[in-house]
A and B are shown apart, each in its own frame.
Chain A
Amino acid sequence: MADVLCLEGISKSFGGLEVIKNLSFAVARGQRTALVGPNGAGKSTVFNLISGVYPVTAGRIRVNGRDITEVPSRLRMRCGVSRSFQNIRLVPHLSVLENVMIGQTPRISGPADILYPLRLVRGSRWQREALAALDRVGLAEFAGSQAHDLPYGVQKQIEIARALLGGADVLLLDEPAAGLNAQETEDLMARLESISGQGATIVVVEHNMQFVGALCGHVIVLDFGEKIAEGTPAEVRREPRVVEAYLGVNAA
């Protein structure tokens, strides 16, 4: 089974309004995939459905071949999917290190781990591991800072480090480059390449098409909750429906 993430006929309605319509796609292990589309197309909703924030109206979701559609949201990270959020969801008054250590929770087992004084012991296995994750996104120097003291773009990177620590196979990153300047975006790209080179499968939601073109070999285009194109960046750019969706030409 080469596909690590697989959506089969997913639909989602919010009180009669169908925001995801019969969506199917598969992501191969180690692949870097982008989910793109205009504002309100349903990209974040797809991430919310995969991570279990709310249930699907129809369809199945598989991770590593296992059907996780009915798995409670709390246990989905253990099934192999981790994520970051479009709007920052860190604890502002905790340190960066403490924030990312929350990401280790899916891997703890038993009372000894829960009662381990990881906020007291310096240089514990948990701390070293969290520092290493921060280092992978280039933020080790901020470990002791309070999260809310840092710029928006840096906080978004902290979420990536936190997501990495869950030990998941698939990382769902919702607009990871938001708030970064050109140089920082390039750094981020290099880091995501190296993270995926180490075996992780990455799915990003991103508006910056240059970023998508350079990072991802596989692009899925959503419009009004429907998949209107899928392929390499060059392929989807040639699709007439994509051009229409992006230029706002009325298809009807």
Chain B
Amino acid sequence: MSGYIEGILVILLLNIVFAYAVYWPLAAGQLNLGVAGFVGIGAYASAYASNEYGVPPYLASLGAALVTFAAAIIIAVPVLRTRGIYLALATFAFGQVLHSLFLNLDVVGGAAGYPVNAYIGIGGIATCALGVFLVTLFLDRTRFGLNMVAVHHDNAVSDLFGINVRLYQTLAFAIGAGIAGLGGGLYGHHFSYIEPQNYTILFSIFVVLFVLLGGTQTVFGPLLGAIFFTLLPEALRASEEWRYAIFAVLIIGTMILRPQGLFTVHEIRIFRRLFDRGTPPGRAHG
């Protein structure tokens, strides 16, 4: 595999991981603009563990996922008291606080950045990305996933039907944070260097953008969004001066034409119809 292709593949796989970090809270109706903060915690915590204590990098990254999961449960207490746009602002503020914390933490290099000694290659990243996707896919098909949809759509009715709304909201937030932490650990150990500038609001917005454009009605939307957003700028490389303009036009076009995202429940139903034995295409699926 050429270095160029491998480089793009790594970015793609990491973007898939980050996509699900944003998807989980979105699946419960929360716009988390602080995802970069969780990625940063994961990157720094796992790098510190492997540099200072010789923890194997995979273990350090999985440990980082647990740390960010637990941190998110605590952070969820104040953050989930807010709703809608205020929740987005609260997570944004949280991300900013963490960014300045990273800038001032001298044990991990502060603004100068922090070299990471141990290395995780593309194979390890691919395994983790696949794992994140499969776990999300599985959970979505369980009653946990069904109840999450219910909570997102209507808190009050979910509550009346016995669903612990606050617990589901907290878990969605924390699972997303755990995935972000894992992604952070993988990132640091692959690029061997982390710095606070990696974990800013721009990063959060970028991931949120491609997840929303991919679609959050199904678990395939984030995957599609990540693929689209990683590969499209590369494909547009040919027209160097126009690529960002074309990219912007495509984004706006998608928002107008497909407000629910590129991949929705509707596409799933079309696939089902095509593959269902004995049900000719076009007939209502019963």
Contact = CB atoms under 8 A, between A and B. Distances in A.
Contacts of B145: 119
Interface stretch (B15-23, B109-117, B158-166, B225-233): B158-166
The size class of the interface chain A forms with chain B is 35 or more
A91 B149 contact: yes
Nearest to B159: A74
Contacts of A73: 159-160
Most chain-A Cβ atoms within 10 A of its Cβ — which of B143, B149, B158, B164?
Answer: B143
B61 interface: no
Contacts of B264: 93
B269 interface: yes
Contacts of B156: 53, 89
A101 B145 CA distance: 12
A114 B265 contact: no
Interface string A89-126: 10111100010011111101000011111111000001
A119 B160 contact: no
Interface in B131-186: 138-147, 149-150, 153-154, 156-165
Nearest to B156: A53
B285 interface: yes
Contact of B162 (A53, A78, A94): A78
B142 A114 contact: yes
B5 interface: no
Contact of B147 (A89, A102, A141): A102
Secondary structure type dominating chain B contacts: helix
B164 A145 contact: no
Nearest to A89: B157
Nearest to A72: B159
Contacts of B158: 102
Interface of A: 51-53, 73-78, 83, 85, 89, 91-94, 98, 101-106, 108, 113-120, 126, 141-146, 162, 166
Given A93-B217, A119-B146, A120-B141, 14 more contacts: A52-B160, A74-B163, A77-B161, A78-B162, A91-B153, A94-B149, A105-B163, A114-B147, A115-B139, A115-B143, A118-B146, A142-B286, A145-B285, A166-B161
13 contacts: A73-B159, A74-B159, A74-B160, A75-B162, A76-B160, A89-B156, A91-B149, A104-B143, A114-B142, A115-B143, A115-B144, A116-B142, A120-B138
